[in-house]
Structure 1
Amino acid sequence: MTPSLALEKPAAAAPPASRRRAGGSLWPFVLPALIVVASVIVFPWGFTIWMSLNEWQIGGGSSFVGLANYGRLLTDLRFHDALWHTLYFTALAVILPVVLGLFSAIVFHQNFKARGFLRALFVMPMMATPVAIALVWAMMFHPQLGVLNYLLSLVGIPPQLWVFHPSTVIPSLVLVETWQWTPLVMLIVLGGLAAIPTEPYESALIDGASGWQMFWHITLPLVLPFVMVAAIIRSIDAIKSFDIIYAITQGGPGTASETVNLYLYSVAFAYYDIGYGSAIAVVFFLMVIGLAVLLLWLKKRVQWTEVGIGA
């Protein structure tokens, strides 16, 4: 009689020793990065928020005032003007470089002589130091000695006050930003143009489409996600702009070109009101985050629409 053999369920295989060692050795690699992030980002912002809840003057003590500093912003007319100047400056400093950068990218995408040299010459402004650019443009803006008014006189246009008049100071500063950062937009859009296939254009030529129709129905929809990327980069950079404005006008004449960034600097480092300056910094940070989220949402909508049309 053959003895019956009992079937036993094999025991679960233990995880390899190498896997256990790898799982147990992750923290030594992650912990330094967490410490750096906490010390460089989390702690400064946490401390800024704590300072915004206090009345704190440099050289004096601090006292907890809760949300009083934020309530003060609601009645601070100078902050309201600075907010309007920031939005006005940002809108112009985004629209003009994006439009001119798109046009420049289409021009430089064509084949013509000395295209590489002209491309290199066109991108040189974005490589210069902002303060050096500001000093050069400040001399160019001078009403009597500046070259801009001399050029206007050659075509019969009367001299302008440029950054020395409240109504023209922000458009003049936007002119500097546009000159410096249009090449960046051009490079981003140029990369998008290089990725567009040639088949849609060949089909459009067979159908008798004009150059404008091909641009409006083929080029612009396909390159629009790249334009949105450029707009996001320019928007975040323009709303934080400080060096160009401060070096040319210091927020003047009066407070006509004072943005939130410059007002924050004045409150914290000229008036030594650290608590109120910290409240402005927190609100300004929320503005930047809100703008970034809005633009990223619009970028996703643009990509979704493009995919939906092509499906």
Structure 2
Amino acid sequence: MTDVALSRPAASPHASRVPIREALQGWSLVAPLYLFVTAIIVIPEIWALYLSFTDYSVGRTPQFVGLANYRATLSAAEFWMAAWRTLQFVAIAVSLEIAIGLWLACILARLRAFRGIIIACLIAPIAMSHAVTATMWGYLLDLNVGPINFLTEVMGFGRLPWLSSETLALLTVAFIEFWAGMPHVLIMLFPVRAALSPEIYEAAELDGATARQSFWRITLPLMMPALLIAMIFRIIITMRAFGTVWILTKGGPLESSELLSIYLYKTGFSYWNFGQAAAIAWLMLLITAAASSLYMLRLYRDAAGTTT
């Protein structure tokens, strides 16, 4: 018996190269997107980085001051207090968004009747602007005529100063941020949960797994990449929250709800110190990157594990 060696013809060294005309055609299609991103993101960020090293205000020529703005910001107790409040705000809002969004996604994936109507109602806050959201919640939480305070009074808790109390203001705006942001999480998680095969759960049920065990052993591991993506996006967006909080409390009372975004706004547009405001903006960028980096590393590690 003779061995027959099967061999493929050697690939041409030029076979994998893309023709220049096709490469130029591809770049011509994506070039407008890159130019748009450069115009609205990259250039303003570079300009803000330059301003952060200058002493600049409206009508004045920027004067280079080196790291003076960063030293002044990092040595200010107000900055660290605003950073701490921002981390608390993000932790409360994003944790509730992920937990409730995942819970609703799991319930809606099993629901059949009226599912479309329920989903439409749940994602309705996405259509509301910050002004509309703040106006609506301002009325609901009003100390004198707010329906929520009417209910708390009926239940025997009295009328609560939700937006004018140093203790309640930050918790209240964090809850409102959760209410406005949870639909975004639901939109990202529901299709993933709905795409999971029912046969997996049927097999687990035949093996005696309870609903809780199926969630922890099947649903959560399979949805973890989507959960991490949703968490990263919500952390980045919530760290920059401004409109609703500013309209409702303007950072008060006594700066108890002053987030980094509000502290930046006051520095730039109340004190007209655009150089230090730019430094605060870049420090916010670093804090946001640090807060989301752990989840991004976990996502990359999981992605690398599935491809090996």
Give the TM-score normalised by structure 1.
Answer: 0.85
Q: How far apart, in 2, do the equivalents of 1:270 and 1:118 lie?
A: 44
Kindly tell me: are residues 212 and 35 of structure 1, through their superposed partners in 2, closer, same or farther at Cα, counting changes over 3 Å? closer
User: How big is each residue's C-alpha offset from its partner over 1:275-299, in whole Å with a ceiling of 9 and x where there is no partner?
Assistant: 1111111111222233343322122
- One-letter code aligned to 1:56: Y
Kindly tell me: are residues 94 and 24 of structure 1, through their superposed partners in 2, closer, same or farther at Cα, counting changes over 3 Å? closer
Counterparts of 1:53-132 in structure 2, within 5 Å, are 53-132=53-132
Kindly tell me: are residues 20 and 214 of structure 1, through their superposed partners in 2, closer, same or farther at Cα, counting changes over 3 Å? closer
Higher deviation after alignment, 139-148 or 151-160: 151-160
Counterparts of 1:148-297 in structure 2, within 5 Å, are 148-297=148-297
**Unaligned 5+ runs, structure 2:** 1-13
**Unaligned 5+ runs, structure 1:** 1-13
Q: How far apart, in 2, do the equivalents of 1:208 and 1:43 lie?
A: 58
Indicate conservation of the 8 Å contact 1:105/1:190, yes or no.
yes
Q: Secondary structure at the match of 1:145?
A: coil
Q: Secondary structure at the match of 2:63?
A: strand
Give the count of matched residue pairs.
Answer: 293
The alpha carbon displacement at 1:81 in A equals 1.1
Kindly tell me: are residues 270 and 25 of structure 1, through their superposed partners in 2, closer, same or farther at Cα, counting changes over 3 Å? same
Q: Secondary structure at the match of 1:164?
A: coil
Higher deviation after alignment, 167-176 or 223-232: 223-232
Q: How far apart, in 2, do the equivalents of 1:246 and 1:179 lie?
A: 16
Partner of 2:11: none
Kindly tell me: are residues 59 and 126 of structure 1, through their superposed partners in 2, closer, same or farther at Cα, counting changes over 3 Å? same
Kindly tell me: are residues 157 and 302 of structure 1, through their superposed partners in 2, closer, same or farther at Cα, counting changes over 3 Å? farther
Kindly tell me: are residues 134 and 203 of structure 1, through their superposed partners in 2, closer, same or farther at Cα, counting changes over 3 Å? same
The alpha carbon displacement at 1:39 in A equals 3.6
Indicate conservation of the 8 Å contact 1:224/1:302, yes or no.
no
Kindly tell me: are residues 154 and 113 of structure 1, through their superposed partners in 2, closer, same or farther at Cα, counting changes over 3 Å? farther
Q: How far apart, in 2, do the equivalents of 1:203 and 1:55 lie?
A: 66
User: How big is each residue's C-alpha offset from its partner over 1:22-66, in whole Å with a ceiling of 9 and x where there is no partner?
Assistant: 678888777766654444333322221221111123233432211
Q: How far apart, in 2, do the equivalents of 1:50 and 1:302 lie?
A: 37
Q: How far apart, in 2, do the equivalents of 1:36 and 1:169 lie?
A: 39
Kindly tell me: are residues 170 and 36 of structure 1, through their superposed partners in 2, closer, same or farther at Cα, counting changes over 3 Å? same
Q: How far apart, in 2, do the equivalents of 1:173 and 1:26 lie?
A: 46
Q: Secondary structure at the match of 1:109?
A: helix
Indicate conservation of the 8 Å contact 1:53/1:65, yes or no.
yes
Q: How far apart, in 1, do the equivalents of 2:31 and 2:184 lie?
A: 37
Partner of 1:300: 300
Q: Secondary structure at the match of 2:55?
A: strand
- One-letter code aligned to 2:143: P
The alpha carbon displacement at 1:78 in A equals 1.0
Kindly tell me: are residues 67 and 103 of structure 1, through their superposed partners in 2, closer, same or farther at Cα, counting changes over 3 Å? same
Kindly tell me: are residues 37 and 103 of structure 1, through their superposed partners in 2, closer, same or farther at Cα, counting changes over 3 Å? closer
The alpha carbon displacement at 1:143 in A equals 1.6
Q: How far apart, in 2, do the equivalents of 1:193 and 1:169 lie?
A: 35
